[in-house]
Structure 1
Amino acid sequence: MNLTLSEVTEENFWDVINLKSDKNQEERIQIFERWVGSNAFFLGACQVYDFIPRAIYDNQTLIGFTSYGYRKEHKRYELISIMLGHQYQGKGYGTPILKAVVDEMSELYKCKEIYLSVIHDNESAKRIYEKIGFKATGEIEKGHHDELVYCLKLAE
């Protein structure tokens, strides 16, 4: 496993857009998938809200997408989206990818906390978040789905 977080460019834009978290989504064009918003939705959010989009690679293979940044309305650093293509799920990527994103955010922002939200019944995602130290805050983010808010306190 050789994970890298890379810029979304003209060369990989369509590959990022076409990467889906659920095989059934490959037949559809939707703003929201079952567990995540589409990558197209989050690329748009990055443009509007000045978040950072990253294509996730294992060697030369695009396997996922993430976006993060400072969310002004909440006054905190947030991992806005993280997704893994359906064909790469269940292969041990979740925890290392999440750690790589947290490390990049920590290095870039020198932040003390990172927040994220997850759909209430996405048990596999919650297990990965909790495994590296994210804890539920008790907050609910209202969006397309109600989402539980988690926070990771970073060591100083």
Structure 2
Amino acid sequence: MTVELRPVTKDDFRAVIKLEVAPDQADFVAPNVVGIAEAHVYPQAEPRAVYADGELVGFVLLHPGDRAGEYVLVRLMIDQRFQGRGLGRQALEAAVDHAAREHDAHSVRLSFVPSNDRARALYVSAGFAETGEVDDGEIVMVRQLS
């Protein structure tokens, strides 16, 4: 499947906020409506709908980091109906590519809830490394880009 990130628009806003992770993952990621609201409070934030072969499957939220050349992946979620197909990995790579291509990012940071073993495994396998930092109880990771 081909994954792409698209800006959230008035046409897909309601569909995006209806996307949900599996019930056992609900403590790991805030609802998408929170991410979209954050984009209105932080104008540099970029809410993006994740599409796979033209079908809405998830949501990501990106924004510039505090350090020069840094971008932050604040949210990454794939709707429970589409999990287990490798779309999370593809969405992650699309987000990293977007940060590098559109913003000339040299690194991408993210954080995850410590008990989210699936997220940790995904991020490590995608080249992210723990920084030793903890942000609001979440483990911070970074991936250096060439």
TM over 0.5: yes
Match of 2:15 in 1: 15
Query: Could you say which residue in structure 1 is the equivalent of 2:51?
Result: 57
Aligned position for 2:76: 82
Sequence identity percentage: 31
Report the Cα distance in structure 2 between the residues aligned to 1:71 and 1:131, rounded to whole angstroms: 22
Deviation of 1:122 (Å): 0.7
Give 1:116 deviation, angstroms: 0.3
Determine if the alignment matches structure 1 residue 35 to structure 2 residue 28.
yes
Paired residues, what number? 144
- In 2: Cα distance, 1:70 partner to 1:134 partner: 17
Q: Quick one: which of 118, 130, 149 aligns to 2:140? A: 149
Contact 1:22–1:34 (CA<8 Å) still a contact in 2? no
Deviations 1:68-98 (A, max 9, x none): 01144x6642111110001111112122111
24 and 113 in structure 1: CA distance in 2 versus 1, 3 angstrom threshold: closer
- Runs of 4 or more consecutive aligned structure 1 residues displaced over 6 Å after TM superposition: none
2-structure distance, mates of 1:3, 1:112? 22
- Segments of structure 2 that go 5 or more residues without pairing to the other structure are none
How far, CA to CA, are the matches of 2:3 and 2:65 in structure 1? 26
- 1:30 is matched with none
Instruction: Show structure 1 runs of 5+ residues with no match.
Output: 26-32
Could you state the TM-score of these two structures normalised by the residue count of structure 1?
0.86
Superposition RMSD in Å: 1.6
